[in-house]
Amino acid sequence: MPTKVAIVGQGYVGLPLAMSATGAGHTVLGIDRDEKLVASLNSGTSFIEDIPDSALAEAIKNGYRASSSFEDISDCSIVVVCVPTPLDEKGSPDNSILVSAVHSISNFIKSDALLIIESTIAPGTMRRVVAPIVVDKLGNKEFDLVFSPERIDPLNKKWNLQNTPKLVAGMNDRALARATEFYSTFVSEVVPGSSVEVIETAKLLENSFRFINISFINEIAIMCNALNINVLDVIEAAATKPYGFMPFYPGSGIGGHCIPVDPIYLASAAREAGSPSRFIELARDINSAMPAHFVGRAVEKLGSLSGKKIIVIGVAYKANVADTRESSSVRIIELLKSAGANVSWHDELVKNWRGEKSSKLSQDFDLAILATPHDNIELDALGSVPLIDTRGAN
C-alpha cells in the first residue's frame, strides 16, 4: 500500500532507494544535512552514476522531494536511515553520525511509525544503541524497529536493488511484517532474518568474505610477480573449475565506503567480545601494504624516484565511478611524493580532487601507474612511458 516515506541520507544508498520507492508509488521525502545536495536534488541534478537526471526528474514529478529539515518526517509512516558509518581517524568504527541522525529522527517521528536502519552496523548496535535512543525519546517500548542492510553495488548492470534479495530483521514481528510489505513493493525477494544480530553479522560476513579474498589474491599476485608468472592467466585457468572456486582479481588495495570499512566493524566487535579475527586483521595488513608494494615496483623500474615524473591513472576507488572514498591511489601518491617523485594524476571521471585537476596523459612521464582502469582511458597517449598495471597485467 503506498505510504509516505522519509529516507535520511541521500547518498549512494539513500538516493537509489528513494528512486525505487517513488517508482513503486510511495511519496518519498529525501532528508540530507547537506543543503547543497538537497538543492541540487530538488533542481533535478543527480550526482550518482546509476541515477540519471531523467530518473530524478521523473521521481520529482511523482512526488519525490529532498529536504534538510527533520521536522518534515513528522507525517511519515516509514523512516529509513542511510547515513554513513565510517571509521574514525584511528581506524575504529564511528557510529556518531548514525547516533546523531537517530536522535534527530526521534525528535519528530510518529510513535506508530516504522524506523528502518540500512546503514551498515556492528552486531548489537540495533539493540544496544539505536533502540534505547528511540524508546527513551518516544517512551514507547513497542516501537517498530527494523534492520535491513543495503547490498547495492554501484554500476553493477546485473544486480540492482530490485533483483537482489533484501534481508530484513525486525525487533518485533509487527515491524518485520511492515518492512516486508514495504520492500516487497519494489524488491523481488524479501528474506526475513531470525534476529537483528544475525542480519547485522550477515552483512559484515558478506563484505569480510570479499575483503579477505581480495587480500588473498593480492598476496598471490605478489607471489606470482616474484615467480615471474602471469597472475591473470593463473586466475583464468583456476576459474575453469565449475565448483568450489570463485575468481577475485588483484589491485592496488581496497577502496570505497564498504569493503575496507565493514570488516573492521566485525573485527572490532569480535575483539571486544574477546575473540579477535586474525583473518580480517591479516587481510587489512596485506591490503594496506599494496600501495607500498607498487611504489617498490616503481623503484625497481626507475631506481631513485627523486625528481621522477610519475602519473597515477585512476584515483576513484573503482572503475567507472567518480567516488574517491578510501581510494588506495591516495596512499600511492603520498608514498611516491615522500620518495621525492613529481606526481600527477589522471582521472577524467573525478576531474577535480584535493584542489588539483586531472592531468592529461602524455609521453612526458618517466612512469605511469594504472591504479583504477576506467573504460576509455587512452593509454596509447603514454607512448613508450613504462606502465605498472596494479590489476595484475604486469
Ligand X SMILES: NC(=O)c1ccc[n+]([C@@H]2O[C@H](COP(=O)([O-])OP(=O)(O)OC[C@H]3O[C@@H](n4cnc5c(N)ncnc54)[C@H](O)[C@@H]3O)[C@@H](O)[C@H]2O)c1
Q: Does 12 bind ligand X (CB under 6 A)?
A: yes
83 binds ligand X (CB under 6 A): yes
Report the nearest approach of ligand X to the CB of residue 67 (Å). Answer: 10
* Angstrom distance (rounded) from CA 213 to CA 192: 27
Instruction: Compare residues 97 and 177 and give the one whose CB is closer to ligand X.
Output: 97
Residue closest to ligand X, measured at CB: 11
Q: Is 318 in the site for ligand X (CB under 6 A)?
A: no
Among 3, 10, 180, 268, binds ligand X (CB under 6 A): 10
Task: Out of 101, 270, 298, 330, name the contact with ligand X by CB under 6 A.
Answer: 101
Stretches 78-86, 268-276, 297-305, 375-383: which one binds ligand X (CB under 6 A)?
78-86
Q: What are phi and psi of 89, to 5 degrees?
A: -65, -15
Q: Which is nearer to ligand X, 203 or 346 (CB)?
A: 203
Q: Name the β-bridge partners of 66.
A: 30
150 touches ligand X (CB under 6 A): yes
Q: Residues 213-239, buried b or exposed e (16+ Cβ, 10 A)? A: ebbbbbbbbbebbeeeeebbebbeeee
How far does CA 87 lie from the centroid of its chain? 12
Q: How far is the CB of 156 from ligand X (least distance, A)?
A: 10
Residue 67 Cα distances to 26, 245, 320, angstroms: 17, 46, 29
CB of 365 to ligand X, least distance (A): 33
**Is residue 14 a contact residue for ligand X (CB under 6 A)?**
yes
Could you tell me which stretch among 8-16, 130-138, 190-198, 307-315 binds ligand X (CB under 6 A)? Answer: 8-16
Which residues are catalytic, by number? 258
Shortest distance (Å) from residue 94 CB to ligand X: 11
| Contact flag: residue 97 with ligand X (CB under 6 A) | yes
From candidates 8, 333, 341, 350, binder to ligand X by CB under 6 A: 8
Among 82, 220, 283, 367, binds ligand X (CB under 6 A): 82
CA 229 to chain CA centroid, nearest Å: 32
Determine the interface stretch with ligand X among 32-40, 180-188, 228-236, 341-349 (rule: CB under 6 A): 32-40
Q: Are 51 and 30 in contact (CB under 8 A)?
A: no
Candidates 123-131, 147-155, 162-170, 274-282: pick the segment binding ligand X (CB under 6 A).
147-155
* Residue 32 within binding range of ligand X, rule CB under 6 A: yes
Q: Are strands 342-346 and 352-353 parallel, antiparallel or unpaired?
A: unpaired
Q: Does 166 engage in binding with ligand X (CB under 6 A)?
A: no
Q: Enumerate residues 219-278 that contact ligand X by CB under 6 A.
A: 257-258
With CB under 6 A as the contact rule, the residue among 3, 22, 67, 85 that binds ligand X is 85
Question: Exactly one of 3, 20, 106, 119 binds ligand X (CB under 6 A); which one?
Answer: 119
Residues that bind ligand X (CB under 6 A): 8-14, 31-34, 37, 82-85, 97, 100-101, 118-120, 150, 152, 154, 257-258
